[in-house]
Amino acid sequence: MSTAIYMGMMSGTSMDAVDAVLVTFPTDHSVQLLASISRPWPDDLRQSLLDLCHPGEQELYRLARLDGDCGDFFAATAAALMQEYGVRGDAIAAIGSHGQTIRHEPGIGHSLQIGDPNRIAEVCACPVVADFRRRDLAAGGQGAPLVPAFHAALLRQAGIDRCVLNLGGMANITWLDGRPERAVSGYDTGPGNVLIDTWMQERHHLPYDPQGRHAAAGHIDGDMLQLLLQHPYFAQSAPKSVGRETFHLNFIEQTLTRLTRRPDDNDILRTLTRLTAVSVADCISAHGEHGELILCGGGVHNLTLQADLGELLPGFKLSDSDAYGIPAQWMEAMAFAWLARARLERQPGNLAAVTGARGGRCLGALYAP
């Protein structure tokens, strides 16, 4: 029984908010949530982050500035959570801070997360672990996804095939085979919410499609869907991972120009929603036809997407991860608390079978309190 307190902090490709949790790991296979907070990125910071995801002028200068500004925001978020829970830095074993990804290009061995961990250590006065991905890349891996080891530790069950589906900006699956001798599989299936969000922002000036309602008012355009599915990422075999570099507004616009008739806005949104569902379901079906599908990430709120998944995967029982004791919103932040603990204990954080690295590696750099 361990009562050491860890914090995990995450902001994913959606760039919606910094999510932070305080947890303990009573056993190697359980987690207890003590407190949580989610703080939306301020508009100006978020816009600067989005701008930095694509090549542009004065990149190095903007990168340096944003690394500090994001570090301050992560630090303030962590401090707010500590204050809320009434805990001081000396009572926290470590904070695992994922940072904000601004480039993910595993093909050239590179993935960059910013949000200066020194600033978090300075404000919170506890050890901070950050830069989780690059050791795996150095060992020939994708540097992603890193959550499958956590999913396996917490949710694997002999005799039941389980699949964890994280619907963030990108979507990633972890296949936990009911046969214990089988290795864990996990990879990014492609877009999660990112194209839906991009289209909502572009056409409706809203950050996302609330509950999937706009999509529900549209119809799937079969021709558009077929063209979208021709993107080479979907045919690539694992290990694979992907980011905003690949799935963005231009991908949608270019697909639309190849159609003889442009669908209306809601039909486009409906089709983008279906794209996420089909690309996810194709990957899951390749592992098995039956099992439990455990959903997490903000996409659990998109009811149109959930209905599509249920229709495309009739052999699976769908539930939010809440039903398994892990709130869907906090799964990823919890995973980075778990990865911070793995770092302190000098245990591997990656799964080589997932990332394609040459072996298990202890992930992350440690910043002293």
Per CB under 5 A, residues contacting Mg ion are 12, 14, 16
> Among ligand ADP, Mg ion, none, what binds residue 320 when CB lies within 5 to 8 Å by partner kind?
none
User: Among residues 38 and 266, whose Cβ is nearest to Mg ion?
Assistant: 38
Q: d(Cα 178, Cα 159) in Å, to the nearest integer?
A: 4
User: Among residues 126 and 252, whose Cβ is nearest to ligand ADP?
Assistant: 252
CB of 14 to ligand ADP, least distance (A): 3
CB of 268 to Mg ion, least distance (A): 24
Other beta carbons within 10 Å of 64: 12
CB of 61 to ligand ADP, least distance (A): 26
User: Among residues 75 and 352, whose Cβ is nearest to Mg ion?
Assistant: 75
Integer CA distances (angstroms), 80 to 75, 76, 98, 287, 318, in order: 9, 6, 18, 42, 34
> Among Mg ion, ligand ADP, none, what binds residue 197 when CB lies within 5 to 8 Å by partner kind?
ligand ADP
Which residues are 104's β-sheet partners? 111
CB of 195 to Mg ion, least distance (A): 16
User: Among residues 170 and 252, whose Cβ is nearest to Mg ion?
Assistant: 170
CB of 193 to Mg ion, least distance (A): 9
Per CB under 6 A, residues contacting ligand ADP are 11-14, 16, 168-169, 193, 197, 208-212, 297-299, 301-302, 332
User: Among residues 5 and 215, whose Cβ is nearest to ligand ADP?
Assistant: 215
CB of 38 to Mg ion, least distance (A): 8
User: Among residues 170 and 228, whose Cβ is nearest to ligand ADP?
Assistant: 170
> Among Mg ion, ligand ADP, none, what binds residue 71 when CB lies within 5 to 8 Å by partner kind?
none
> Among ligand ADP, Mg ion, none, what binds residue 162 when CB lies within 5 to 8 Å by partner kind?
none
CB of 31 to ligand ADP, least distance (A): 18
User: Among residues 303 and 344, whose Cβ is nearest to ligand ADP?
Assistant: 303
> Among ligand ADP, Mg ion, none, what binds residue 175 when CB lies within 5 to 8 Å by partner kind?
none
